[in-house]
Structure 1
Amino acid sequence: MKNFIKIALLVSIIGPFFINNKLYAQSFYRMKLGDFEVVALLDGAVPQNLDQLLKGTKPGAISKMMAKHSQTAIMNCSVNAYLINTGDKLVLIDAGTGDAYGPSLGHLTEGLRKAGYQPGQINAVLLTHTHMDHIGGLMTGDKLTFPNAQIYLSKAEGDYYLNPTNREKAPEAMKRFFDGAAQKLNPIIKAGKLTTFEFGKELFPGITPIASFGHSAGHTFYAVKSKGEKMLFWGDIILSDIIQFANPTVTSVYDYNELNGTSTREKALKEAAKEHYWIAVAHIDFPGIGHLVKADTGYRFVAVN
């Protein structure tokens, strides 16, 4: 997500901290998935105005829906990334914001260390898409944050956002997505660290990319399976759990293709509720892991904690 509202208070994820009067006491959350370990990592959080962020509702509808949950349209937006320890590989899904958005974000590596891992141990970083809050943490200054990791990105995403011709054709408001991708990924390419992939094959045993286009041109889910257990990492198809689980047709101002995004979201929600596997979501309250169940209106998220 973009247009983060910057806040002046310097916060640390080493211990409990407040953002917009909400307490964040954890920087990581650990759970087992079959033989794998999944570690949710909190990059940080900032307030977002859902009336400005979301589309596809009547004026004032967002505020009314939030009020039913005793909340306002100003929500705390978590930025979550996830580490998969397969026993053989350490695989990170998304890289957080880095230094892109100010002091309330960019704390992923702090949580990683608290969880017992070092950036140099990471073998691979799988990107759901190239928006800055998912790729900003790939670089620390002019250095690779994860120096021993290969970075994986769908070919569809790379071909679109790393193409200067596509940038020229894009609406002015969307050009920053191309600029951010070039800024963070060109050093990765120069270092020989970027691998692009087509869909349909495992990247690592138990880890498979799934096309989920709409929010971006080559947006990717990652299905992780071990010993009969499954977790699907959703990236940015949900930006508000309260609004979009109940109303999957609600889109966002950052969607590349709203129709495709809606179709992807509706299909994903239906399948997750039916099959009852774990889902991990980048921008709902940390750790963003839980199950989906059918509700009277749409779906309801049941958080792991």
Structure 2
Amino acid sequence: MKKSMILLAGAVMILASACGGSAKKQAADEADSITATVYMGVKTIRLDSVKATWIRDNSHDKLMPVGLFDQNASQLADSLGLKDGIPSSVSTFLVETGGKRILFDTGVGASDSQLQTGLKALGIAPDEVEYLYLTHFHGDHIGGMMKGDTVVFAKAQVYASKAEYDAWMKMDAEKKAQVVKTMEAYKDRLHLFEFGDELPGHVMAIKAAGHTPGHTAYQIGKLLVVGDLMHGAALQTVNPDICASYDMDKQEAVATRRILLDYARKNGLTMAGMHLPMPAFR
């Protein structure tokens, strides 16, 4: 069965090259559907000229414990029938736009992480990723950049906010050890930006601080990559004032969450979140 699906995917690609306009788009959509059938950890959507693919990094279903959230969460979770945990994920996103291939975050980088499986299912090798855009420096977002002492994305240009970099460099040595090792390994290709800068691929870097000091959201057309804006969307879309214990500055995290949720709603944007329930588009 798997072999037949792969052969069918090849036929779809041939059809796409032979036909024009709408036929190409239909064939591409079918190819994406086939890819998702072969490996269920990917889902591709198209928003005008932006092609965005969710890639699951977690190997098993993920529930965030209710106790991870502040005291306002328990009663709401019970009322929603979620006392056993809040559906979540560890996700990354591959965006193709303007001829550029951009990976947003890299997951945990654990032995059972699925990012590389997802990329392989899409026919993409790590060396073919041109850009890495980081939402922040927590280990479940930069862990996949390294395998031991070796860089995984050997040709990628890495972009992160200067505010995030500067804040982590001031932290205790033990807390920042993974960050220092990773950024040092990529130092020749590391680019630090200011909030509001436009990055390659017409990607706008948006201040989303609170979860971490330099936490960044990215807008590409109608897509808004929101990183860790929410760890438990079922709770936090109902009550944005609820915070996870991971949020470093809870007051600022709440303000950011309210601003970006409202911004996405008013502008008809699709959110891509690293801990939204699978598939992590909203």
What is the TM-score of this pair, normalised by structure 2?
0.81
Following TM superposition, by how much is the alpha carbon of 1:47 offset from its aligned partner in structure 2, in angstroms? 4.0
- 1:52 to 2:48 alignment: no
> Secondary structure in 1 aligned to 2:57?
strand
In the TM superposition, 1:124-163 aligns within 5 A as: 124-163=131-170
In the TM superposition, 1:44-123 aligns within 5 A as: 44=58, 45=60, 47-57=62-72, 61-62=73-74, 64-99=75-110, 103=112, 106-123=113-130
Size of the aligned set, in residue pairs, is: 246
> Secondary structure in 1 aligned to 2:239?
coil
- Counterpart in the other structure of 1:235: 227
| Separation in structure 1 between the aligned mates of residue 61 and residue 70 of structure 2, nearest angstrom | 20
- 1:200 to 2:211 alignment: no
Following TM superposition, by how much is the alpha carbon of 1:130 offset from its aligned partner in structure 2, in angstroms? 0.2
Unaligned runs of 5+ in 2: 1-34
Following TM superposition, by how much is the alpha carbon of 1:136 offset from its aligned partner in structure 2, in angstroms? 0.1
- 1:26 to 2:40 alignment: yes
Equivalent residues of 1:221, 1:233 under 8 A apart: yes
Question: Mean alpha-carbon deviation: is it higher for 38-47 or for 121-130?
Answer: 38-47
| Separation in structure 2 between the aligned mates of residue 136 and residue 74 of structure 1, nearest angstrom | 24
| Separation in structure 1 between the aligned mates of residue 64 and residue 230 of structure 2, nearest angstrom | 15
Against the structure 1 CA distance between its residues 56 and 249, is the aligned structure 2 distance closer, same or farther, given a 3 Å change threshold? farther
Letter in 2 for 1:167: D
Among residues 29, 32, 38, which one is paired with 2:52 in the alignment? 38
Among residues 272, 275, 281, which one is paired with 1:283 in the alignment? 275
Against the structure 1 CA distance between its residues 193 and 205, is the aligned structure 2 distance closer, same or farther, given a 3 Å change threshold? closer
Which structure carries more strand by proportion? 1
Measured against aligned partners, the alpha-carbon deviations of 1:176-196 in whole angstroms (never above 9, x if no partner) come to 3x233123222222xx12111
Following TM superposition, by how much is the alpha carbon of 1:56 offset from its aligned partner in structure 2, in angstroms? 4.7
Following TM superposition, by how much is the alpha carbon of 1:49 offset from its aligned partner in structure 2, in angstroms? 4.6
> Secondary structure in 1 aligned to 2:177?
helix
What is the TM-score of this pair, normalised by structure 1?
0.75
Letter in 1 for 2:78: A
> Secondary structure in 1 aligned to 2:201?
coil
| Separation in structure 2 between the aligned mates of residue 193 and residue 147 of structure 1, nearest angstrom | 10
Letter in 2 for 1:27: G
Among residues 218, 228, 248, which one is paired with 1:256 in the alignment? 248
Following TM superposition, by how much is the alpha carbon of 1:258 offset from its aligned partner in structure 2, in angstroms? 0.8
Identity of aligned residues (%): 29
Equivalent residues of 2:167, 2:213 under 8 A apart: yes
> Secondary structure in 2 aligned to 1:223?
strand
| Separation in structure 1 between the aligned mates of residue 46 and residue 57 of structure 2, nearest angstrom | 21
Which structure carries more helix by proportion? 2
What is the root-mean-square deviation in Å for CA atoms of aligned residues? 2.1
> Secondary structure in 2 aligned to 1:41?
strand
> Secondary structure in 2 aligned to 1:29?
strand
